[in-house]
Structure formats: C-alpha cells, structure tokens
Amino acid sequence: MSDINIIIFDDYTRRQLLPFTFTRPIAGIRVGILTIRQKWEKYFEQPSCTLSADYLRKKFPLHIGNENLFINGSVLPNAKLVEQINNLKPGQAIVDGKIAIAVRISGKKPPLLHKANGEWEPLVDEHECQQPNTNYVKISYLWEIFSENGQALKADFDLLTQNRQSQPLSNTNTVIGDPQLIFLEEGAKVEGAFLNTTNGPIYVGKHAEIMEGSMIRGPFALCKHSTVKMGAKIYGATTIGPYSKVGGEISNSVIFGYSNKAHDGFLGNSVLGEWCNLGADTNNSNLKNNYSEVSIWDYTQKKYINSGLRFCGLFMGDHSKSGINTMFNTGTIVGICANIFGTGYPLKYIPSFSWGGADKGFITHNLKKALETAIEVYARRGKLFDHTEAELLRDVHKMTKAYRIDNNITRFLKSVSSCA
C-alpha cells in the first residue's frame, strides 16, 4: 500500500471523546499498548496523516495524494479488516450503517464533508459500499477506552511480539502463570516483582522499569521509559503510556503518556491524558455506594448521560493536575489545563482551565501561567513546548470559554450538577 496515501479521519464521535480530543485526533488515543494511529501504521507499515478539526491541522497536518485511503480513527484494526481494506479499489468503501470504516478515493480533490463545527469527514454517498466482513472494535465513548483496553492490549501484544524474542527476565522475580506471556523490550528492568499472567500478558517497553516489590496482574503494558515505583499494586487491564511514573494502586486504567501518578492513592476504571500529575494520595471513586450505574458529563449533549457501567472513575484531559489528598467522585470529567486541590469532592464536571476545588470553588486558570507550566513540564521530559503546542492550547482556551462563566465557574458547575 506504499503507493497509497493513508489519511486517518475523525468521525462524528470526536465530540463524544472530549476532553481527550480537544488536543488530538481520535487516532491519538491510546488503547491497548499502542495508540490507534500506531496500530494502523504497524499493520500497513507506513506513516499516515490526519483529517480532523481545522484547529488541529497546525499540529496534525493533512496531505492529499493521488491515491488516498481514508480510515476511521475510532476503529481498531484487526488482520481480517486490514485485508478487506487492502482489497478496496478506487470508489469503494466499507460502511457499517452510519459508520464509514474505510474509503478509497482517487484524485487530489477528494469529496469531503466540512461540518459546521470545523470538522471534516470523507463523503461516501457516491461510493460502492460493502459491509465489514469481520467484527471490529470502535471507540465511541470515553469509558470504552478502559473497558476495551484488555482486548486491545492482548491484540497489541501479539502484534508487537510475533516472531520476536523477549529480553531475559531476572530470576529475582516471582512469576505466576505462563512466563512466555511476559515480554521485555531492550533495556527494560524488572527486579523483585510479582508478575501474574493468568488473565493476560505483561509487556515492558524499552528502558522501562518495574521496581522491587511491585505486584502486577496482566493484561498490563508499561511503555518505553516509564516506571512502576516500589510496592505498586496494579490490576489489569492497565496501560501506562511512555515517559510516565506510577505508584500506589491502579486498576483497569489507561494513562496516555508523559503523566505521573507516582504516589500512594487509588486510580480505577480511569483514563488520564498526557502531561497530567496526580498529587500524593489522590484517590478516585469508581463505584457508587448504592451500586447504581454511573453518569458522566457529555460535551455533545451538554448534560450528564448514563454510562451503563457500575465501575467508572476519572477522565482527566491533558495538562491537568491535582493537589495532594484530592478526591474525585465516580465518573468525574476534568478538562484541559485544570488544577484541582483542597478538601472535599469537587463536582463531577470540571471545565478546562479551571483552578480551585470543592471547598473554595473555581476560578479560571490564567492562560499565561498554564503555558508557563507546560513549558516547564515539557523541559523535564527533554521536549520543547513550541509555538504550535502553545497555539493549540490557546485555541482550546477560546473554544471552552462558554463553559466558564464570568471568570467564576462555580455557579455553572452547580447549575449542571443537579443532572448528575
């Protein structure tokens, strides 16, 4: 397929996946070991570009070729689906109801739908459409990032380790289950840990480390240059993205990368974006005391909706932080660049660029200070927070202004909390 330009597009579910898609296309979401984009690129063995909201083009540019294959960024690939896509001819598409999975279009000006909110999708109406010939996974709601993580992690483990040999595992570790389901990449360090593969594999990326006393139950992935600190307790299915540090207790959660939950405290049935930090003894509830299904804030409907889940925790967007001893309720949504601290439970929806907590309420986080913090945390990981990154956060700051009232968010939060 190297002669075909691969374009991964966002479909109608992009807004259902906010706040994570404020700062990335859907394909940038990590579920399993890899992001959705990395999965498709691994199967096709070539890079891709993005068709998404206009403001995201600055960081995720679009390139149109003579032959273009559009792939839905919310769909996870599998071997049978990739084979069917490989067999598409120009003018053909794979469509499942209202879900366009893949479209092959010739020409430098493919027919694209520009929606009122600045988002784009390829038009498929005039194409010869066929049904998918296999079952597939689609990430349409926030909670599916962790609920589908186990299946995706096992699939990625097979994809990444096929016909490869793991680095040797030190005999200081205790293994329960099949040791062949443990794979260590080059430079990985695992000493004095308890590793249980009974329910799924354990993957340790390049130069990642699991410190002594840690107890890990698969399926579990620790991506490159990340660390599990001493005595951590991690239940599957959990993914820790690259350049992250984790400790305490974690269950069925996904951390995209470049984020820290480095201290004691519980994180369960949750998703953290990039550049997040949970202060010591930050805890989230993932089960209501009455065992009823958890509702969460939906950006599309601008109200709380039922997740259908009894176990559902915290969803925290990029660059957000919590102070020590912060407590999050079940199904809490935290936007981009929020800073939460103080006593008590903050309300379940915290808009982007919020500053404060349950006891004293919230004000708007100063944009200039948010950018200064981002510069510092990027530097700590040896990365440059450049003009493109700054413009992206400025754009998000503008588009989320409607959720912050007169620089005092508390009244707005109370007005919507009655629906939770």
pLDDT tens digits for 290-307? 999 999 999 989 899 999
What is the predicted pLDDT for the residue at 2?
63
Angle at 406 between CA 405 and CA 412, to 5 degrees: 25
Residue 415 has pLDDT above 90, yes or no: no
Q: What is the mean pLDDT of residues 246-251?
A: 98
Contacts of 132 (CB under 8 A, 6+ apart): 81, 84, 94, 96, 101
The half-sphere exposure of 104 on its side-chain side, counting CA atoms within 13 A, is: 17
- CATH topology for 144-417? UDP N-Acetylglucosamine Acyltransferase; domain 1 (2.160.10)
**Contact, 40 vs 8, CB < 8 A?**
yes
Q: Token pair for residue 54?
A: 């206009």
**pTM given for the model:** 0.94
pLDDT tens digits for 57-102? 999 999 999 999 999 999 999 999 999 999 999 999 999 998 999 9
pLDDT tens digits for 329-374? 999 999 999 999 999 999 899 999 999 999 888 999 999 999 999 9
Under DSSP, is residue 133 helix (H, G, I), strand (E, B) or coil? coil
Return the DSSP state at 408.
B
Residue 412 has pLDDT above 80, yes or no: no
What are the beta bridge partners of residue 122? Answer: 112
Q: Token pair for residue 191?
A: 């000493």
Q: What is the mean pLDDT of residues 267-273?
A: 98
Q: How confident is the model at residue 117 (pLDDT cuts 50, 70, 90)?
A: confident
What is the predicted pLDDT for the residue at 319?
98
pLDDT tens digits for 223-234? 999 999 999 999
The half-sphere exposure of 185 on its side-chain side, counting CA atoms within 13 A, is: 18
Q: What is the mean pLDDT of residues 393-397?
A: 97
pLDDT more than 70, % of the chain:
96
